Amino acid sequence: MIAALMALLACQVAGELVARLLGLQIPGPVIGTVLLFILLLVRGRVPDALRDVSRGLLTNLSLLFVPAGVGIIQHLDRIRGEWVGIVAALVGSTVLTMVVAVFVFRLVSRLSGADRGDA
Amino acid sequence: MIPIPPVIEDVWVYLSTTPLLWLTATLAAFLAGQWLFERAGRRPLVNPVAIAVVLLIVLLKATGTTYQTYFDGAQFVHFLLGPATVALAVPLHQNFGAVRRAALPMLAALLAGSVTAVVSAVAIAVAFGVSPETMRSLAPKSVTTPIAMGIAEKIGGIPSLTAVMVIITGIVGAMTVTPLMNLLRVSDWRARGFAAGVASHGIGTARAFQVNEVAGTFAGIAMALNGIATAIMAPLLISLLG
């Protein structure tokens, strides 16, 4: 388990280093994801411990957003004043984005023949 | 008010300033949210994150605790967002075959979804006359917290307000994705998951993993890719939109 956690953290550190050294706009953890993915491709299989730790983190992913969510407490005044616009923008844009993304995905999947095999 | 015995007050004074208390409270609030979610028949409208946030805010208000004190404890949970993002490489590797076959639809849906997320949020906000800082703070709302906060800083938003917009967006996505996709009669788990991840990052991804592993994998990829796409595109779009 420690080795698996170490692998995740090391990839994140490496990702931060790459982002800073190359001055990339891409966030460190995302580069870390790519690095770990390349390591797994080279290695050919996912070690059991890494699979378990990753599954543990990903099945509880929503917990990790709670602390930042509580930060709403710092912005109650602003949100109270502008809540109609904020709610409209967040709900409208989120639903519209899902509709556009799923429509484009299905359209291109059908046109490009990527539907064969699965779906 | 009932007088509080001095022993309890001493214990409170000690506990309320240690990271231990607020870390424990964060986990307890989330467990309460999950319990309610299960009790409600796993209905997406009963969202564990929303419940946990409301419970914690009530608790902070009732005890007069500042967000800074709370975050000193809760940061240990917050910190795991980074390693969890890296961990997305594992399901990505395990489902690489399906992912590779869907490369073209994913790329197209990423570009369309990423632009729609920023432009529609800004357009609706402006139509409702919200202030420029709020508008700039909600522009990157569809990508995961650390990335969105970085973008907000670059485009003149308020990073801590952006974090809140990100969480609300995630909750909205998690609540609406299943009924919306059923309404649209989309049965392709890849497309459903990808849409959830593009629009509502990690909370949408968590929801997708609850429903189907393929959907979760595609949501995770969408979340990672949209983090990159929005980091590059949002500053350009904002300067174009003024």
Q: Are residues B14 and B65 in the same domain?
A: yes
Q: Are residues B195 and B127 in the same domain?
A: yes
Mean pLDDT of the A3-15 span: 95
Q: Are residues B138 and B54 in the same domain?
A: no
Residue B4 CB-density burial (10 A; 0-12 exposed, 13-18 middle, 19+ buried)? exposed
Residues in chain B with CB shorter than 8 Å from the CB of A13 are none
Least confident of A34-38, B5-9, B66-70: B5-9
Quick check: is B193 in a domain? yes
7-66 in chain B: CB under 8 A from chain A: 26-27, 29-30, 48-49, 52-53, 56-57, 60-61
Contact with chain B for residue A42, Cβ under 8 A = no
**Domain boundary pick from B50, B79, B108:** B79
Mean pLDDT of chain B: 92
Quick check: is B137 in a domain? yes
- Give the start-to-end residue ranges of the domains of chain A: 1-59, 72-119
Q: DSSP states of B66-129 as a string?
A: -HHHHHHHHHHHHHTHHHHHHHTHHHHHHTHHHHHHTHHHHHHHHHHHHHHHHHHHHHHHHHTT
Mean pLDDT of the A62-72 span: 93
Quick check: is B1 in a domain? no
**Domain boundary pick from B26, B54, B79:** B79
Contact with chain B for residue A30, Cβ under 8 A = yes
Q: What is the pLDDT of residues B48-105, one digit of tens each?
A: 999 999 999 999 999 999 999 999 999 999 999 889 989 989 988 988 888 899 999 9
Share of chain B above pLDDT 70, in %: 98
Q: Are residues B47 and B101 in the same domain?
A: no
Tally of domains in chain B: 2
User: Which residue segment(s) compose the domain that B98 sits in?
Assistant: 87-241
Contact A70, B74 (CB under 8 A): yes
